[in-house]
A and B are shown apart, each in its own frame.
Chain A
Amino acid sequence: MGQPAISAREVSKRFLIHRKRATSLKERFINRGAQAEEFWAVRDLSLDVEPGETVGLVGANGSGKSTTLKLLAGILQPTSGTVTVNGRIASLLELGAGFNGELSGRDNVYLNASLLGLSRKEVDRHFDDIVAFSELAPFIDNQVKNYSSGMYVRLGFAVAVHIDPDILLVDEVLAVGDEAFQRKCLDKIEQFQRDGRTILFVSHSLELVEQICSRSVVLDHGRVRYIGEPEFATGTLRGILGTDKPRETAVPTIVDDPRGGAYIHGATVSDRPGGEPRSDFFGGEPLSVRVEVEVLDGTDPIGGQVTLIVLGAGDIPIWVMGQDGRGVVPPVPGRYHVDFVVPELPPVVGSFIFAVSVNDPDTDDVLAHARFYETLHFKGNTNLGIVDVRYTAETWRADG
């Protein structure tokens, strides 16, 4: 107990990109002095995956997801850092479980399971389930080279989930296969979750990650940008994908208004108005969010009611600031700072994002809206829930 299923410590992976790779001794000797370009696919990745967790790895193409998975699977060795794995790993990487096309489906099942550490007897026990799950009974004695890509993946997935793995690594394979099979795979994954197995999941489908993962890791250019709630990971990733300037995590929406609307330039989180930006807070500490809003010139400039909503998982509002006259900007074109100050944070624990909107004070129409994925981390013990509620408990004998 207490031992993580997968533990990565400051793992980095460097690939050397030779303009012309020395794949022979001759080239090796001729190009002795030639410079190889370095490419860090993964940089300083530290991650503990606890037994029973389902962790999603998301990121743009080339962000290092697949490399990370291969490092954790032990297929690649890190350039520096250590990876410790506790248990049997089944991996489904890049559409294939390493089948041999010349062999039949049956032989491949036995060979693959054998590679993954199973004895023949163990495979015998699971063989019928594997065939049933893959729905390939009529073709199981055909050569795998004649399989369609869907059949290939079905068999691969069937083997991976039936060899009784402690850790399942899945890379983007659910994209292949029809809806019915995808559903079946997801059911199997859910069953794995109930069994308390560890799953690491790479996908471009953010919805899927939100749906099945308990934690998400956002990778960007080989570095971890975020670890935590899948909902925020999704937000963070969309922020990354939406802009290539990493600091601007706001995604403003401007509503065109001929009278002159509003524009949200940014927001800074600190412990006091104008203070150093920070994102980690403890309950009881002061919190201040400075929103920079511009009232745009037009035929009839309107001011606005600035509202700041702190959002939890699934966009649940945790609290809302800016009503009844507080947080209003005047109808005079120019830039304004609106400081929302919380003198003492409530005993809330967790990671949150916030959204800012500027509304017409009279009609309540939205003039501008922005979400800030630079998350707020309210520190504390999440095992006790997100709110530290004061309560009492008494025990009475009820049967007399």
Chain B
Amino acid sequence: MTVAAAERGTAQSRLRWELLANLVRKDLKVKYQSSALGFIWSLATPLLLLTVYYLVFGFILRNGVPNFAVYLMAGLLPWNAFSTAAVYGCGSVVANANLVKKVRFPTSVLPLSAVGYAAVHFVLQMGVFFAFLALFHRKAFGPQLVLLLPATLVLIVFASGVAILVAALTVRYRDVQHLLEVLLLAWFWLNPVIYGMQLVRAQLLPRGAYWAYFLNPMAGVVTAYQRALYVTPDVPTVVGPQQVLAYHGYGGYLLQLGVGMAVSLVTLAVAVVVFKRMRGDFAEEL
């Protein structure tokens, strides 16, 4: 009986997938239950963006990159997933103060549920995007799609690390919330979402600092997504043929994802240590 009790005691303080899933479900339910269209709203934004970019860059602001909407979305969707996870993760402990102060449970599940919440939206948006690709960009369906697997893995690990870190810090320093928002705005431009990699190469390769660009794990994720979904590295632009993507082959992407994974794991480790150290004070600081 004592053994059973001890087991049940650990069940209460251990992270469980089911609890994580329940919390994600709760967040989705709370967000969408009182709106008539509910979940469809989460798809409206990417659909609208896709349409606008398709029209604007395809017909009005021709920047010469063919299918620019695809290039843009391939980088924008993973970035949005990351930024949603970070922003929701940041407020996750504070928003659940009611639980943290009254129930004994593994609080680290809260930032992870923010990552799960972002992941659900990401998967749905990718679904819409794939439907779009099936209609207008058939060449995306090739073996290079395998790149999505390691890239998504890095995305999940890095997003979890950042979410856990900012979730803990925000409890004590509420400014982190605002700081993060500003930081994310700037961080967005450190990834080749709107611009092509040819610009980065032109600036950084002569200085020997090209590698530094990929210390940002999201840069590795975004370029890998582009290689997988946009597919063609060299495209004709207004200034002539250009290599918009990072590499022709796949090895370069894997190397960069490897670096990104290492940075992500370090981030996650630091985040876990910080979270563990700070969580004891959550209940009193909220």
Contacts and interface: CB of A to CB of B under 8 A. Distances in A.
B9 interface: yes
Contacts of A74: 13, 104
A377 to B, nearest CB: 30
A96 B98 CA distance: 9
Contacts of B175: 24-26
Contact of A24 (B33, B104, B105, B173): B173
Interface stretch (A87-95, A278-286, A392-400): A87-95
A91 B104 contact: yes
A115 interface: yes
A166 B105 CA distance: 15
Nearest to B102: A98
A28 B173 contact: yes
A88 B11 contact: yes
Interface in B81-101: 98-101
A99 B98 CA distance: 8
A25 B101 contact: no
Contacts of B100: 75
A1 interface: yes
A181 interface: no
Interface string A1-21: 101010000000001000000
Given A3-B2, A87-B6, A98-B101, A115 B19 contact: yes
B108 to A, nearest CB: 13
A388 interface: no
A387 to B, nearest CB: 33
A86 B99 contact: no
A86 B19 contact: no
- Prevailing SS type, chain A contact patch: loop
Given A107-B26, A111-B22, A86 B2 contact: yes
A129 interface: no
A94 B102 CA distance: 8
Contacts of B105: 115-117
Nearest to A73: B104
A114 interface: yes
Given A24-B173, A88-B5, A103-B29, A119 B103 contact: no
A394 to B, nearest CB: 37
A170 to B, nearest CB: 13
A22 to B, nearest CB: 8
Interface string A97-113: 11110110001001110
Interface stretch (B49-57, B231-239, B241-249, B278-286): B278-286
Interface in A316-362: none
Interface of B: 2, 5-6, 8-9, 11-13, 16, 18-19, 22-23, 26, 29-30, 33-34, 98-105, 172-176, 179, 279-281, 283-284
25 contacts: A1-B2, A3-B2, A5-B5, A24-B175, A25-B176, A25-B179, A26-B175, A28-B173, A75-B104, A75-B283, A76-B284, A77-B280, A77-B281, A85-B9, A86-B9, A87-B6, A89-B9, A97-B103, A98-B98, A98-B102, A110-B22, A111-B26, A115-B105, A116-B12, A117-B8
Identify the 3 closest CB pairs spanning chains A and B, nearest first.
A77-B280, A87-B5, A117-B12
Given A76-B283, A87-B5, A115-B19, 13 more contacts: A1-B2, A15-B284, A23-B174, A24-B175, A88-B9, A91-B102, A91-B104, A98-B101, A102-B30, A111-B22, A115-B105, A117-B11, A117-B12
